[in-house]
Amino acid sequence: MASRDTLSQTLTHLIDDALWDSPWHRLSEAVSDLTEADLDYRPVAGVTGHWGSDMARPARHGARAIYGHLIGATLEGADLLPPAGSDLSAEIEAFNWECGAAELAAAADAAHRQARDRAAALADGALWEPATDSGPLANFSNAEIIAQCFVLHPSWHLGQLALVPKFRRMGHGVAPTPAAPSRDETLPPRGDWPFHMPPTGSPKALLLELLRQAQMGCPWHAFERVADGLTVEEAEWSHHPDAGDEQALPVWIYARHVAACDVMYADMALGERHDDWDWVGQQVGGAPLRATEPLVVSRRGYEFLRERVEAASDDQLEGVHEMHHGHAMTGWQVVACMIQHRMWHGGQIALIRDAYAGVA
């Protein structure tokens, strides 16, 4: 990724990072160990998924969200999304509730590779054309749909797919059900979904916009949406308090982890390189815990990262930086990784909040 890239090239790099090239939280990490038992696992009974997950069978719901519309985009060839109720849409739905784990992983990978090639083929001018001629998404541009469906949305559900097997293996849940759950297909208000950048914007402007979408803009999956309205009890609740490891973390720790990584990564690549987690903790805060603390802490990390990206030179963004974990990353990679990172853990927070709602 470079400052001279076209916006189509930048989006293509972001898809690559979100699915395959990121050092952490890749597609392969989320789906490689899934079993049929994971796909049909229900963490709790009687919860419809208020926070964005489908608690009847969240792994299958997440899989459908990851590849379903992408298969439609690549097979139909005209619009980015298959029309609701079409034969193709029904075919995707039937496949989703019947496929095995290996088929699911292969479908997700193949669909994203085709979607990546489709995004790469769009000229920058075409990015701002309507993604489809009809339906609820008719007013959205190709760039907005690609960013949501090919970059942000997959990372959200991949985080959930990675967490579901851990729920199941810790013995938390109820017996599976063969029935496919009903889903609310109502499109949320457009809100802040439209891009806050001009079609002539730079690659840096595009990354800043995707960071804003991931934090507060996306009506479904923005981090601030899933951190809003927490009570202290909910923020501190662990879905398996006896697990004794990082797989049973409460929501507030996930939120603080995301913010801390924002600060550490931004400082190491685009800042003063303190390389000190104690210093990072001072920037993030977060104690004593309050009901609003995950929201406040996440905003602190976001603002720290955003300010340093805005101030960064092309040399800083394109330069290779030795990071705190010993790996080398460019500034571009750091920003892309942090966008993906907050979506990954935001999806997990949503899943935990749904589980809490089912047992509280």
Residue range 193-212, pLDDT digits in tens: 577 777 778 899 999 999 99
34 with 181, same domain: the answer is yes
Q: Does residue 93 have a pLDDT over 80?
A: no
The domain boundary, picked from 194, 210, 240, lies at: 194
17 with 144, same domain: the answer is yes
CB-based contact 132:81 (threshold 8 Å): yes
148 with 264, same domain: the answer is no
Indicate which CATH number applies to the domain containing 298.
1.20.120.450
Q: Is 179 inside a domain boundary?
A: yes
Phi then psi for 321, rounded to 5 degrees? -120, 135
The whole-number pLDDT of residue 329 equals 92
139 with 184, same domain: the answer is yes
Q: Is 209 inside a domain boundary?
A: no
Residue with tokens 């999956």: 221
- Count of domains forming the chain: 2
Q: Which residue has the higher pLDDT, 122 or 77?
A: 122
Q: Is 1 inside a domain boundary?
A: no
pLDDT digit string, tens, across residues 307-335: 999 999 999 999 999 999 998 999 999 99
175: containing domain: 7-194
Among 67, 269, 281, 276, residue whose Cα is nearest residue 158: 67
Angstrom distances, CA of residue 7 to CA of 2, 4, 80: 10, 9, 18
pLDDT digit string, tens, across residues 17-75: 877 777 777 777 777 777 888 888 877 665 556 565 666 677 877 777 666 555 544 44
158 with 46, same domain: the answer is yes
Q: What would the DSSP string read from start to end of 90-145?
A: HHHHHHHHH--HHHHHHHHHHHHHHHHHHHHHS-GGGGGSBS-SSSTTTTSBHHHH
188 with 227, same domain: the answer is no
Q: Does residue 117 have a pLDDT over 90?
A: no
237 with 343, same domain: the answer is yes
Q: Does residue 79 have a pLDDT over 50?
A: no
Q: Is 237 inside a domain boundary?
A: yes
Find the range with the poorest average confidence among 155-159, 199-203, 220-224, 258-262: 199-203
Indicate which CATH number applies to the domain containing 21.
1.20.120
Contacts 24+ apart (CB under 8 A), 75-84: 79/131, 79/132, 79/133, 80/131, 80/132, 80/142, 80/145, 80/146, 80/149, 81/131, 81/132, 81/135, 81/137, 81/145, 81/149, 83/134, 83/135, 84/135, 84/185
The whole-number pLDDT of residue 134 equals 64
pLDDT category, 142, cuts 50, 70, 90?
confident
232 with 127, same domain: the answer is no
In the chain, what percentage of residues exceed pLDDT 90? 25
The domain boundary, picked from 143, 175, 194, lies at: 194
169 with 239, same domain: the answer is no
CB atoms within 10 A of CB 307: 13
The whole-number pLDDT of residue 201 equals 81
Q: What is the largest CA-CA distance in the chain?
A: 56
Among 42, 76, 75, residue whose Cα is nearest residue 59: 42
Q: Is 336 inside a domain boundary?
A: yes
Q: Is 187 inside a domain boundary?
A: yes
**What is the value of pTM for the model shown?**
0.85
pLDDT category, 305, cuts 50, 70, 90?
very high
19 with 108, same domain: the answer is yes
109 with 18, same domain: the answer is yes
Q: Is 218 inside a domain boundary?
A: no
245 with 140, same domain: the answer is no
The whole-number pLDDT of residue 344 equals 92
Q: Is 332 inside a domain boundary?
A: yes
